Structure 1
Amino acid sequence: MATLQRSAQKLFYYARNVVRDIAPQALFRRRLAGLLDQARFSDGSVRARLNHYNRLQDAFSPGPDAMPASRLPTDRSMYYYDLKEFIRYFDPDLLVDLQFGDIIRVPGVPSIVKARPIAGDNRNGVLFKLNKFRHFHMPADGVAFADKLPVAVWRGKLNNPIRTLLLQAARDLPFCDVGTPKPSAAPEYRKPYLSIDQQRRYRYIISLEGNDVATNLKWIMSSNSLCLMPPPTSETWFAEKQIEANVHYAPLEPDFSDIAERVRYFERHPTEAERIVAAANAYCRKFADERAEQAISLLVLYKYFVLSGQIEPDAQVWRFISGSA
């Protein structure tokens, strides 16, 4: 359920992007060279992140289904606007392969995606910050860890077997408040809906992957609650592969057999829980740096277009990307 504030934010999101679409697009293209020149003076973290998102190293040709940058599909409007925000700085005739939506497999050709599997050779999945209004909602949390309820909470859809497994393992445990608000679920799995603010009243919030990644992971890690989850198997712009167990979150066994032991442990060691929460908060803060986010987004696309043979690289920008600057 959307709050009034969240609804207003969504309205602003669409209004801002509509205005960008109405504006003469040539104005954005004229700024690209200057923005890339600024980006190459960024620190090493920008280079590391762009080369994590875009792991391509060799030249390639766009696939048969590639489309011009000026003709992105608009049926998934937030995906469209999130990619258009940055691709509008490039020649509208440049070709791009993309897959909008929840992705659990690596594309056959290098493609812009929201998510990709962590394991194996995933370089054809070029990560971009897509559907960010939903996935990068990280509101401030004003309640300290010690002041929260000593209970583990989870709410969500049963769109992944691991979620049903959690409910089977933990729904009767006195220190767990887990369930789904979906009326179509079995009665023993149903629990009332809880907003983000209501879930953040608990010391422990469980994060579980759904169709691809866990949507709630970002706002959990930016809160003062401790994230409990099995190791992730997919990643997005949030770079879930780089999130470390016992550093940024408390790991759970895939069958949740240790959930009782995990909660009891951190109840006895709150300082350790707070250390993990602080590290998780620090991990999240880098995504609030709008200048770095813009630089990385443009460089990810620039590298894609250079390696696809559609742009002749600027020597200095390419040296920054390759690490030889």
Structure 2
Amino acid sequence: MARIFKQNKFLFYVKGYSQRFLSGKNVEVEIKNLSKNLSQKQKQEVDFRVDYYNKISEKIEFSDAKHTVSDLLHPKTPKAYYFDTYEFAKYFPKNWVIDYEFGDVNSILKRPAICKSRPIFGNNENNILLNLDKARHFVTVKDELKFSDKKDILIGRAAIHQQHRMVFYQKYFGSKFCDLGQVNIIGGNPDWIKPKISICEHLKNKFILSLEGNDVATNLKWIMSSNSIAVSPPLKMETWYMEGTLKPDEHYIGLSENYDNLEEQIQYYLDHPKECLEIIENANRYRGKFNNENIEKLISLLVLKKYFNYIH
């Protein structure tokens, strides 16, 4: 019914550790090679994304810098962040200063640093985004089940720790429009506990709940590559996926801040399947923008180059 494309964790760690034995090529040569076959439209998109991820516009002085590029060769937990950063930082001198904040970042940093996530709103220019922990976050599906053949239900499986997830489940657990389940045993509400289900099982349903956790909702990207539709309240956090550019009822079904219109929204879209197909098409097109490996590598190098230009 569906094929899941995700990075093998063992191979990911082998590749990550092997990078220490490989030196990056000249960064300018690499950027030139990656840029040479791009159309004018692609070049404009690259420029837009570089400036979206890295909003630095002033020279930065780090008198108390703690990290250099070479420090990335000695990964601590979470290791994936070190591997994903060094994949592109290796093209720059090992003794160059680099500041980073790894893990789930859900606040605006006090000074510019490389990180995975940031709030969408506010002066978030200190949070410089790279595609970190991408083996976990950038999962793609090949969904062979048509939207019309899926169940008329909103499926949701999540760990319930954060207050906003608690509120949602309190409102809609048991609703005829939803099949909700809590997958964590400790915390939350024991009455909500249900077994985890696979991505393929999720994709048997027309609508899939996508609630932010500590930062973004991990499942949003693979939902948007499928023939199901993500259902989400207003987005507050963003990553490399540029969640801040997504539009409710264009890329996903939007809920109100307090979730009160969920049943109304689900019923509306059940009654308007053509609009559902338009959302799916928009979502698939948006998700597809991140599938060109050369462009993703080029943007990553340019984000770091811009960062280093302002601190060295």
**TM-score category (smaller protein):** over 0.9
Q: Offset of 1:4 from its aligned partner? A: 11
CA distance in 2, matches of 1:163, 1:240: 19
The letter of the residue matching 2:83 is Y
**Residue of structure 2 equivalent to 1:81:** 83
What's the secondary structure of 2:184's corresponding residue?
Answer: coil
**Which among 231, 235, 239 is matched to residue 234 of structure 2?**
231
1:40-61 CA distance string (max 9 Å, x none): 5541000100110001111111
**Which among 294, 304, 307 is matched to residue 304 of structure 1?**
307
**Residue of structure 2 equivalent to 1:54:** 54
What's the secondary structure of 2:290's corresponding residue?
Answer: helix
What's the secondary structure of 1:140's corresponding residue?
Answer: strand
CA distance in 2, matches of 1:148, 1:236: 30
1:289-309 CA distance string (max 9 Å, x none): 00100000000000000011x
Aligned length, in residue pairs: 302
CA distance in 2, matches of 1:244, 1:238: 13
CA distance in 1, matches of 2:81, 2:298: 19
Q: Offset of 1:192 from its aligned partner? A: 2.0
Map of 1:42-191 to 2, 5 A cutoff? Answer: 42=38, 43-62=43-62, 64-72=64-72, 74-75=75-76, 76-184=78-186, 185-191=188-194
Q: Offset of 1:252 from its aligned partner? A: 0.5
The answer to whether structure 1 residue 38 and structure 2 residue 37 are counterparts is no
CA distance in 1, matches of 2:245, 2:152: 28
State the identity %. 33
The letter of the residue matching 1:14 is Y
What's the secondary structure of 2:305's corresponding residue?
Answer: helix
Q: Offset of 1:277 from its aligned partner? A: 0.8
**Which among 280, 285, 289 is matched to residue 282 of structure 1?**
285
**Residue of structure 2 equivalent to 1:314:** none
Map of 1:8-23 to 2, 5 A cutoff? Answer: 9-23=8-22
TM-score by length of 1: 0.89
For the 8 Å contact 1:86–1:297, the answer to whether it is kept is: yes
Change (3 A) 1:108 1:255: same
Change (3 A) 1:291 1:5: closer
What's the secondary structure of 1:95's corresponding residue?
Answer: coil
Q: Structure 2 unaligned runs (5+)?
A: none
For the 8 Å contact 1:246–1:276, the answer to whether it is kept is: yes
What's the secondary structure of 1:287's corresponding residue?
Answer: coil
CA distance in 1, matches of 2:184, 2:58: 46
For the 8 Å contact 1:137–1:219, the answer to whether it is kept is: yes
TM-score by length of 2: 0.92
The answer to whether structure 1 residue 245 and structure 2 residue 248 are counterparts is yes
1:154-194 CA distance string (max 9 Å, x none): 11111321111111111121120012121223222212211
Q: Structure 1 unaligned runs (5+)?
A: 311-325
What's the secondary structure of 1:275's corresponding residue?
Answer: helix
CA distance in 2, matches of 1:63, 1:215: 36
Alignment RMSD, CA only? 1.8
The letter of the residue matching 2:151 is L
The letter of the residue matching 2:195 is P
1:2-29 CA distance string (max 9 Å, x none): x9986x8112212222322223x2xx1x
Change (3 A) 1:136 1:5: closer
**Which among 210, 214, 225 is matched to residue 213 of structure 2?**
210
